[in-house]
């Protein structure tokens, strides 16, 4: 108990110390003033955004939404004042070297990518005009059918345009998943063509339920507001193997597959004993009857 308490105190001290230090995460002056070698433009910001989505979002959350992970210290939102108070050089230094729970990305990302991330953060700087604007999701419609013979998911997508009418959704990624017990498992992504159509070829090695049935879920990305299409009970998977826990004929089986000799021995022994007991009880009745003679 005392050990646990000590550990708890140490952890609390360590975390609060970190929080204290984080507010004054000092960056050497020469590092602060390094200039970003890549240009601040839409292309670079978009690349930075993709990198952010895979490497940073899990802790820092969506820009401007203040939905970062509840860690101590709290990972700041990239659009926040705390984050934007840093110079580009400081941002690069911090995300390269890391501190505490913040990983040192110089071990995982090339220098160019780290500068692209800085570009994406700078998109939210009060001093810059944003080149990338997060638009509200577009209303879209999705249709999908599954051809079990050719093992193809045939998709058609359309989205609402500025005039309020629906037109074909072109060159847009569509996600294909299969339903699993605890969520959807992504099995691939496909781009729509100029007519809003897409075809996804289902892999051969999808495992289904005991009979091989699979449920396919087709959806659009986060930029669209569209209902997912769920196609149930498709015979396109490999039947799931469910090994029988108790094989037939095992001596310790359940009643469903108890060996016949075992059942008969038990019932025979118990039945025999109780028949004899009933016979003896009958003898008692007989003794009583004989008293009246």
Partner 1 sequence: MEMNKIESPEESRKLLDKIVFDLTRSIVKKDELTRFWFFILIVFAGVGLWGWAIQIDQGLGVTGMRDYVSWGMYIANFVFFVAFSLVGFLISSAMHLLNIHWVKPISRVAEQVAIAGVALAGIIIVMDMGRPDRLLNVFLHGRFASPIVWDLTVVTTYLTISVLLFYIPLIPDLALLRDRLGDEVPKWKMKIYTILSLGWKGNAKQYKTVYHAMRVLMILIVPVGLSIHTVTSWLFAATLRAGWDTTIFGPYFVAGAFVAGVAAVIILMYIYRIRHGLQEYFEDIHFDKMAKLLVFVSLVYLYFNVNEFLVPGYKMKTAEGIHLSNIFSGGYSLMFWSVQISGLILPTILLLFKFFRKPLSLVIISVVVLATAWLKRFIIVIPTMEHPFLPIQNVPENFHHYAPTSIEIMITLFSFCAAILIISVLAKFFPVITIWEYAEEKGIDKKYLSEQPKN
Q: Which two tokens stand for residue 30?
A: 């020469």
Task: Give the β-pairing of 173-180 and 183-191.
Answer: antiparallel
Q: Is residue 253 part of the contact set for partner 1 (CB under 8 A)?
A: yes
Backbone torsion region of residue 213, taken as left when φ is above 0, otherwise alpha when ψ lies between -120 and 50, otherwise beta = beta
**Cβ at position 244, least distance to partner 1 in Å:** 16
Residue 245 contacts by C-beta under 8 Å, 6 or more apart in sequence?
A: none
Q: Please give the residues from 222 up to 251 whose contact with partner 1 meets the rule CB under 8 A.
A: 251
DSSP letters for 117-168: HHHHHHTT-TTS--SS--PPPEEEEEEEEEETTTTEEEEEEEEE-TTS-EEE
Residue closer to partner 1 by CB (options 189, 265) is: 265
Q: Is residue 7 part of the contact set for partner 1 (CB under 8 A)?
A: no
Q: Please give the residues from 91 up to 120 whose contact with partner 1 meets the rule CB under 8 A.
A: none
- Residues in contact with partner 1, counted by CB under 8 A, come to a total of 29
* Angle, in degrees to the nearest 10, between helices 111-122 and 88-97: 130
Q: Is residue 293 part of the contact set for partner 1 (CB under 8 A)?
A: yes
Among 8, 9, 69, 273, binds partner 1 (CB under 8 A): 273
Q: Which stretch binds partner 1 (CB under 8 A): 39-47, 54-62, 221-229, 272-280?
A: 272-280
Residue 188 contacts by C-beta under 8 Å, 6 or more apart in sequence?
A: 175, 176, 200, 203
Among 127, 129, 182, 279, binds partner 1 (CB under 8 A): 279
Residue closer to partner 1 by CB (options 233, 248) is: 248
* Rounded Cα gap, residues 236 and 214, in angstroms: 6
Q: Is residue 138 part of the contact set for partner 1 (CB under 8 A)?
A: no
**Cβ at position 181, least distance to partner 1 in Å:** 27
Q: Which residues sit at the interface with partner 1, rule CB under 8 A?
A: 251-255, 258-259, 262-263, 266-267, 269-270, 273-274, 276-277, 279-281, 283-284, 286-288, 290-293
């Amino acid at each position: 108990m005392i050990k646990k308490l000590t550990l708890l105190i140490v952890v609390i001290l360590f975390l609060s110390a970190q929080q204290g230090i984080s507010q004054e995460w000092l960056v050497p002056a020469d590092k602060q003033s390094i200039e970003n070698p890549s240009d601040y433009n839409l292309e670079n910001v978009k690349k930075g955004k993709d990198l952010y989505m895979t490497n940073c979002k899990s802790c820092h959350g969506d820009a401007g939404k203040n939905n970062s992970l509840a860690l101590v210290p709290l990972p700041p939102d990239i659009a926040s004042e705390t984050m934007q108070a840093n110079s580009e050089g400081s941002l690069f230094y911090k995300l390269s070297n890391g501190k505490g729970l913040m990983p040192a990305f110089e071990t995982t990302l090339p220098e160019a990518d780290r500068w692209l991330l800085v570009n994406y953060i700078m998109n939210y700087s009060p001093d810059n005009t944003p080149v990338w604007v997060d638009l509200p999701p577009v209303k879209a419609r999705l249709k999908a059918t599954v051809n079990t013979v050719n093992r193809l998911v045939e998709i058609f997508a359309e989205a609402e345009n500025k005039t309020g009418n629906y037109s074909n959704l072109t060159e847009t990624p569509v996600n294909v998943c299969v339903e699993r017990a605890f969520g959807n498992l992504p099995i691939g992504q496909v781009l729509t063509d100029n007519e809003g159509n897409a075809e996804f070829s289902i892999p051969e090695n999808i495992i289904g339920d005991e009979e091989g049935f699979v449920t396919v879920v087709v959806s659009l990305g986060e930029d669209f507001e569209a209902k997912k299409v769920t196609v149930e009970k498709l015979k396109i998977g490999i039947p799931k193997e469910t090994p029988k826990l108790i094989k037939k004929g095992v001596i310790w089986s359940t009643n469903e597959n108890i060996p016949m000799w075992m059942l008969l021995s038990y019932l025979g022994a118990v039945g025999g004993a109780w028949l004899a007991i009933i016979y003896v009880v009958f003898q008692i009745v007989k003794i009583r009857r004989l008293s009246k003679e």
